[in-house]
Chains A and B, each alone.
Chain A
Amino acid sequence: MNGKNDKWGFHTEKSNLITLDSNDRSLVNILAEQVPSLNSCFFCGSCGATCTASDDGMNFRLVHLLLRRGELQTVNKIIRSCLLCGKCTLVCPRNVDTRAVIYNLKILIHELH
């Protein structure tokens, strides 16, 4: 433990440090263009709560959050377990087409590589 943080009794984990100035948000912008309803998400978490693949770590709210932060590596790992069953879309109170987002995300990530 070092520096100022000590004084306040907490510190920041290096791996969770997000620099919102330099993160890569291009993907989420493209996605929001492809599926405009993504912008109405208010991170309520209903999608994650109902997810069929939640035991495998899938959680759409989390994916969306990570996308906004630009943490693509983690996103790529998580969405592999999505079964595209569409439950999340059906429960979303904001009518976000979550399934379409994941589907397009898979394709986008593939195109990036």
Chain B
Amino acid sequence: MDKIDISLNINDKPFEVRVAPNDTLLEVLRDQLDLTGSKESCGEGVCGSCTVHMDDKPVRSCLTLALEAQGCNIKTVEGLANGDDLSDLQQSFIDHGAVQCGFCTPGMLMSADALLKSNPSPNEETTRKALSGNICRCTGYAKIVEAVCHAANPHDRCPDCKTDNNSGE
């Protein structure tokens, strides 16, 4: 198949890439741009480990063609932190012990980040639902759900919440 030159906007930076029409966004991110934070676990849209944002919406980059991503603002896990400053959500994952092997973590963070954008203080049930497209084999989800619920919600604190973190914007 003939390759095509396209430009992608990823983490607020423009990239010129040459892709085959059947190249997925995940392949382009990982193989061409060395953005290996997004992971492939199932390759068929089930596990959510490849989740990235396209215009603030979570999508599965293993099912998204690179061609479809043209003209969108793409955000990957590498774009969550501001330089060395972690986002509240990332810090909350660390503080609550939500990361074990870490393979699901990037996708989990991207789904959770999208949730928090639409609902800054989700309750447990909403969070569990929102994360149900992301499979984690290690944690049993309890600490992930806690980390998400407590990331931006100052009313719902636990001893693992770092006090100096997210003073509520």
Q: Do A and B bind each other?
A: no
